[in-house]
Chain A
Amino acid sequence: MASTLLDTLQQELVPAAGPAALSHGMLVFTLAPAELLPTVGRLQREFAFDIFLDVTAVDWLGQTPRFEVVHHFYSTVHKLRVRLKTRVPEADPCVDSLVPLYGSAAFMERECHDMYGIAFHGNADLRPILLYEGFVGHPLRKDYPKQQEQPLVPYRT
């Protein structure tokens, strides 16, 4: 069942979504930023990927485009996971928000915005969720100094 669905996904989505790869039984697509929202919409409507698991990013410092935004989805019908990778440039690190499709995307996109500075078009609330107001920079970017602190309370001397 899973393998036939993988075949179908590959045939149906590959023209739009670029070359697909199979990694540990998970289908991996590499997309252009503009294709993300339509592809996710099709995954949700036509292929029953009903759970949005995670969004995170990878900072390939030194490569262009620098960032890779990674989405994971799970289908409770097919018991199958799919991973979407979208490369975005450092100058304009932004992709479409998935909030219109999955409500749970709101908080996860806030975290990704905290840590990597990825902007999500359509997410109206990108306030810090794990960091605090006034934090400068994005700590999981590779060029953030490892031990740079931004204390909220002045240190005792």
Chain B
Amino acid sequence: MTMYARTIPIAAAAHSKDASFEYLTTRKDELIGWARKFSIFPYPFVTACCAMEFMSVSASPYDTDRFGAALPRFSPRQADLLMVVGTVTHKQAPVLLKVYEQMCEPKWVMAFGVCATSGGFYQNYAALPGIDKVVPVDVYIPGCPPRPEMVIDGIMQLQEKIARSSHPIITKSF
């Protein structure tokens, strides 16, 4: 099983004297997917202690910019990836849903840490038992809090998912 995204197959023009790229062949879905997977601007919906780990993974030692996912947009309308970092309470669930609904397609959601994934150890009146009760989730990252390596792995799996999915932007005329 290949874990991570293939690079775009590039065929150099065989007859070119200087071996420069004169054309390349790829699938249109793959081309769009390749472009999109390296520009996932996150919107951090940060509610709890996982924020510390989010800061750590964003900062230079781990550097999510390598995956094109470093530039946090503080308006959901400019973001591609909703990172739900921390516990979401029932009182907060309407806010989360509103943020999600404001995001433009294409959009993806990451459940960062065990509380966002399942409610974690908060099985009580206050906490939402997993954000997937309210918004659809693309990638779950376990851990309390997750190690930066796990977050990076999650981002890479999301990239893989983006690269493999079909992109409705592609029509007959394109």
Chain A interface residues toward B at CB < 8 A: 131-132, 139, 144, 146-153, 155-156
9 residue pairs, one from A and one from B, having the closest CB atoms = A139-B125, A153-B93, A155-B133, A132-B91, A153-B134, A151-B90, A152-B94, A153-B97, A147-B123
Question: Number of B residues whose C-beta is below 8 Å from A?
Answer: 16
Decide yes or no whether B52 CB sits under 8 A from chain A. Answer: no
Least CB separation from B93: chain A residue:
A153
| Complex CA distance for A144 and B90, rounded to whole angstroms | 17
Please count the residue pairs between chain A and chain B whose beta carbons lie under 8 angstroms apart in the complex: 38
Decide yes or no whether B106 CB sits under 8 A from chain A. Answer: no
Which B residues touch A152, using CB under 8 A? 90-91, 93-94
Decide yes or no whether B69 CB sits under 8 A from chain A. Answer: no
Least CB separation from A145: chain B residue:
B125
B161 to chain A, nearest CB (A): 19
Report whether B125 and A151 are in contact in the complex, using a CB–CB cutoff of 8 Å: no
Which A residues touch B124, using CB under 8 A? 139, 146-147
Least CB separation from B135: chain A residue:
A156
Report whether B123 and A151 are in contact in the complex, using a CB–CB cutoff of 8 Å: no
Q: Given A148-B125, A149-B129, A155–B91 Cβ distance below 8 Å?
A: no
| Complex CA distance for A150 and B123, rounded to whole angstroms | 13
